[in-house]
Amino acid sequence: MRSYGVRVRDGAVELNLAEESVTTKIVEIGASLREGLRSHRMGQVARDVVRLLQLGVPPEEVAYLAVKYDAEVSEYGTTHVLPVIVDSLAVLDRYPGLQAVVPVLQGMELAADSHVRQPDREILARADADMPAPELFSVLRGLVENEKALEAEALLAGAIESGVQSSVIESWFYHLCSDHFLGFGHALIYTQKAFELLGKLGWDKAGELLPALLFGIVNQTREELLPQWKWFSLRLAGIDSELSEMYETPVRSANDNEISELRLVLLDGSRTEAFDALVNAFRTGLARKSIVDAISLAASERILRFDPAIDASSTVQEGWLAVTHILTFASAVRRSLDRFDRPEVLKLLLFAGRFVNNAKTLDLRIEDRLSLGTGGERMGSLAEVTDAIAEQAAQEAITRTIGYCTSGDCQAELRAYCEDFAMSDHSSKPIVVGHLIKTCRVAFEEAQATGELTPILAFVKIAASPIRQRWITRFAHEAISFLEHGKVPRTLT
């Protein structure tokens, strides 16, 4: 509540009733909101968000406060807070006025949950970036490759301050994401979301946002250097000298059979067959949009094939959250095709293909997989779809979705329901809510891009399935297994 200045003069109590300036109020409320995030007081955060909206602050600017907080305090750099905020903002048109607090709070809660009482992390002063952009990137890339996270962050901050063009810096990030398959695909996903957000809010936010993103990229695991990826690294090195030639190959359109065949190889072929199929597509000039269509549809089907018993198991690390990344990474690669006009984008396609193919160990047995038939003679309705999801009846939900969408254009109403479902209190853990939000947006975008219903069905299966919300038993199992028996945490991929 507002407090007033008080003084006693000549025996009279005087109150200062002058209105504070809007600017002063915004600053004070912003400070309160930040303290609410740090202390994980979501009631306080919600009230401060509404206060800012009442003062006319655009919801995108309010939501950005969580992104900025994440950038400043996250120990290892940018986290899921960034993509969850960006994807939540995509539904603002359905949440006018003060109702915008609902999508805005989604990323806010994740920031609060992830960084409770976390102090601001160490950040070096901006480094001198007075050199031509190509030379600057060469130095920056060397710092990243040698895992000099603080120094790389400082140099990027200097480059932004010195006025290097936004398009140049964006290309730097895509280059770095193609150098390695980073952090289960997070680096590319975060990069795409960061530049989407800057496109909404303006480049003046870049100095606050991008250095933390780079810091996170340096700290993320280089997956392709792990033992189980060694064969992939060797194959990738073997075609590195051909990337430019393959990229310049005249592009030809694909027919439906080619996309279907590539999708099936990625789903069921050996790792060598999947790699060779993609390289052959590059060499023969198959349109990259068609290649990513096949990858996206395969990723969607991988979700439809996912064995929910794996998510419930305390003996393995994979689960629903892991399998969603296959599709969200494929979507990020699709967006890269328009943003990164370089031969290295082929490496991103290979990363995505490997990601899909490697996850076949998470599939249900063939006889246990859900039916993707036509929905039968009886058409489904949105009410039937939502009832099936509420009842956690995955097969019924998919069948009714197919029927509902067969009867007409279902995507607007169904998408609105799924977006609301993802942001509802159906799930308790912020990280689970965040993955539902991200996957929901990607599913409908990929359905539009591919012209197929499969990505939407993938999200419907997730929504209609039990999702593990707590992992304490798994942590306990892993601790005993590691310390008593010397076994590292078990992974199926």
- Is 377's pLDDT higher than 70? no
In terms of Cα–Cα distance, which of 278, 329, 326 is closest to 306?
326
Average of per-residue pLDDT values in the chain: 95
| Amino acid making up residue 40 | H
Residue 374 pLDDT grade (very low, low, confident, very high; cuts 50, 70, 90):
low
CA end-to-end span of the chain: 53
For residue 262, what pLDDT is reported? Answer: 97
Q: Measured in whole angstroms, how far is the alpha carbon of residue 354 from the centre of its chain? A: 18
> For the residues 192-213, what does the mean pLDDT come to?
97
What does the pLDDT look like over 213-224, one tens digit per residue?
999 999 999 999
> For the residues 93-104, what does the mean pLDDT come to?
97
- Is 415's pLDDT higher than 50? yes
- Is 472's pLDDT higher than 60? yes
Tell which phi-psi region holds residue 376, choosing left (phi > 0), alpha (psi between -120 and 50) or beta. left
Lowest mean pLDDT: which of 313-327, 371-385, 475-489?
371-385
Lowest mean pLDDT: which of 234-238, 252-256, 320-324, 325-329?
252-256
d(CA 420, CA 48): 22
Residue 283 has which token pair?
């060499």
Tell which phi-psi region holds residue 429, choosing left (phi > 0), alpha (psi between -120 and 50) or beta. beta
For residue 375, what pLDDT is reported? Answer: 47
d(CA 466, CA 309): 10
- Is 265's pLDDT higher than 50? yes
What does the pLDDT look like over 429-465, one tens digit per residue?
999 999 999 999 999 999 999 999 999 999 999 999 9
For residue 256, what pLDDT is reported? Answer: 80
Residue 378 pLDDT grade (very low, low, confident, very high; cuts 50, 70, 90):
low
For residue 406, what pLDDT is reported? Answer: 82
Output phi, psi for 14, to 5 deg. -115, 135
**Local structure of residue 113 (DSSP, 8 states):** H
**Local structure of residue 286 (DSSP, 8 states):** B
For the chain, percent of residues with pLDDT exceeding 90: 89
For residue 376, what pLDDT is reported? Answer: 54
| Long-range contacts (CB closer than 8 Å, 24 or more residues apart) made by 183-186 | 183/216, 183/220, 183/221, 183/223, 184/221, 184/223, 184/322, 184/325, 185/325, 185/326, 185/328, 185/329, 185/332, 185/351, 185/355, 186/80, 186/216, 186/220, 186/325
| Amino acid making up residue 287 | A
d(CA 133, CA 169): 9
Residue 327 pLDDT grade (very low, low, confident, very high; cuts 50, 70, 90):
very high
H, E, C per residue of 7-56: EEECCEEEEECCCCCHHHHHHHHHHHHHHHHHHCCHHHHHHHHHHHHHCC
Say how many C-beta atoms besides its own lie within 10 A of residue 339's C-beta: 16
> For the residues 155-180, what does the mean pLDDT come to?
97
Please, are residues 90 and 42 in contact by the beta-carbon 8 Å criterion?
no
Q: What is the CA radius of gyration of the chain?
A: 24
| Amino acid making up residue 43 | G
Give 159-191 as a DSSP string: HHHHT--HHHHHHHHHHHHHHS-BGGGHHHHHH
- Is 407's pLDDT higher than 80? no
- Is 175's pLDDT higher than 60? yes
> For the residues 375-403, what does the mean pLDDT come to?
87
Residues 6 or more apart whose CB falls under 8 angstroms from that of 366 comprise none
